Amino acid sequence: MASIADTPYTFIGLDVHKDSISAGILEPGVDDPTHDKIFHDEPSIRRLMGRHDPARLRVCYEAGPTGYGLARLLASMGIDCQVIAPSLIPTAPGDRVKTDRRDARRLARLHRAGELTPIRVPSMREEAVRDLCRIRVDAVQERRRARQRLGGFLLRHGRMFREAGNWTLKHTQWLNSLTFDEAAATATFGHYRAMLQMADTALQGIEEDLAAWTVTEPFAGPVARLAAYRGIQPLGGLVLTAEVCDFRRFATASSFMSWCGLVPSEYSSGGSTRRGHLTKAGSQMVRNQLIESAWAYQHRPAVGAGLRTRQQQVSSATIARSWAAQQRLCGKHRKLAARKDSKSVVNAAIARELAGFVWAEMITDD
């Protein structure tokens, strides 16, 4: 039986940085990769790859801040390139030395051994919309900080709003009625409110830009189907679509749940089985969106006016699956809430099952 060293392919592992690329080159029939270091620009990359037959090259590098430009360049040259999930790269427990040279050589060896897990490289349009979704998260966080700063200032001055919830119409009217004796305090209050207004305006502008993509292909169809489910608004459907891109790359619902980080961690050995907190692996945006959407299932099954309007754009089969999801998830939420003290734990369990319904919807051809 031939060993993996007898493969006719040359495997190249790349450790990519802003200004440099370290390459571990593993030739056919060789067990120890050689090392090369080049400048991170297109001419240098073409020179390195030009030393080999493109049809017999297998290249990989870790996903990171440099994005997918290198993968697209190599694909345009007819070279097979895989972008590797960093968190799934095998590591030796006792290995405490990390250098660019060692990382590149290790990637080449693991790639030839088939021990690496590639991720899907999105199209340029998918990546652009994904970035727009992610900047919305940044804008939401900035608005939260602006609200916290304003609330902290008011608390220091003994101004507490004790009626309805914060940031409602009544709360805004209460803010408009506030006055301060000191001119500096008045100016500070005005600046905090201006910062909050800027954050609100920025978020509104981003959401308006995103709304246009919810009805633009290739996102319109998947977004409409996802928005037919309770708790998932069109913007939420766009986040799921842009982040996941291709639901069919997950063979089972369990694998998608695991990718979302919604499955419990496990520490088992021998006859002992222990499960801990959620792994929180994979896309944080997808996980947060599913958790946020899952709160809608704490109430009894119902189809409100907004959901009914969204369901007018999809097939009867999708509507039926959406209703089946409501019946199961609402019932399960009631049962778990009766046994569990923590609402967040219950909601995480509902989010995990919602992920399964989302996956099943997106791989089904109506």
What pLDDT, in 10s, does the model give residues 135-193?
Answer: 999 999 999 999 999 999 999 999 999 988 899 999 999 999 999 999 999 999 999 99
Nearest residue to 253 via CA among 358, 139, 147: 358
* pLDDT for res 309: 96
pLDDT digits (tens, 9 = 90+) for 89-123: 998 888 788 899 999 999 999 999 999 999 989 99
Secondary structure of residue 8 in the 3-state scheme: coil
Q: Mean of the per-residue pLDDT values for the chain?
A: 93
Place of tokens 């430009």: 69
Radius of gyration of the chain (CA): 26
Residue ranges of E strands in 52-109: 57-62, 80-84
* pLDDT for res 282: 82
Give how far the C-alpha of residue 253 lies from the chain's centroid of Cα atoms, to the nearest Å: 17
| Tokens of residue 195, six digits | 């910062």
CB-based contacts of 302, cutoff 8 Å, min separation 6: 326
Mark out the alpha helices in 178-315 (DSSP H runs): 183-213, 220-227, 234-244, 253-260, 284-294, 305-311
Q: What is the mean pLDDT of residues 230-237?
A: 96
Q: What is the mean pLDDT of residues 260-286?
A: 82
Nearest residue to 235 via CA among 215, 216, 210, 260: 210
* Phi, psi of 29, rounded to the nearest 5 degrees: 75, 5
Q: Taking 90 as the threshold, does the pLDDT of residue 280 lie above it?
A: no
Secondary structure of residue 264 in the 3-state scheme: strand
* pLDDT for res 2: 43
**Quick one: what percent of the chain has pLDDT higher than 70?**
98
* pLDDT for res 273: 72
d(CA 124, CA 136): 19
* pLDDT for res 5: 53
Distance between start and end Cα atoms, the chain: 46
| Amino acid identity for residue 233 in this structure | Q
* Phi, psi of 341, rounded to the nearest 5 degrees: -85, -30
Q: Nearest 5 degrees, angle CA 64-CA 85-CA 11?
A: 95
Position 6 confidence tier, pLDDT thresholds 50, 70, 90: low
pLDDT digits (tens, 9 = 90+) for 296-329: 999 999 999 999 999 999 999 999 999 999 999 9
Biggest alpha carbon distance in the chain?
88
Q: What is the mean pLDDT of residues 205-227?
A: 96
Nearest residue to 72 via CA among 26, 126, 112, 148: 126
Higher pLDDT: 283 or 130? It is 130
Place of tokens 């427990």: 93
Q: What is the mean pLDDT of residues 261-279?
A: 80
Q: Which of 43-57, 188-202, 276-290 has the lowest mean pLDDT?
A: 276-290
Domain with CATH 3.30.420.10 in the chain: 4-119
CA torsion angle for 65, 70, 75, 78 (degrees, to 10)? Answer: -150
* pLDDT for res 74: 97
Class of domain 4-119: alpha beta
CB-based contacts of 201, cutoff 8 Å, min separation 6: none
Q: Percent helix, strand, coil in the chain (nearest 5)?
A: 55, 15, 30
For residue 337, the tally of other CB atoms under 10 A from its CB is 16
* pLDDT for res 147: 97
* Phi, psi of 10, rounded to the nearest 5 degrees: -100, 125
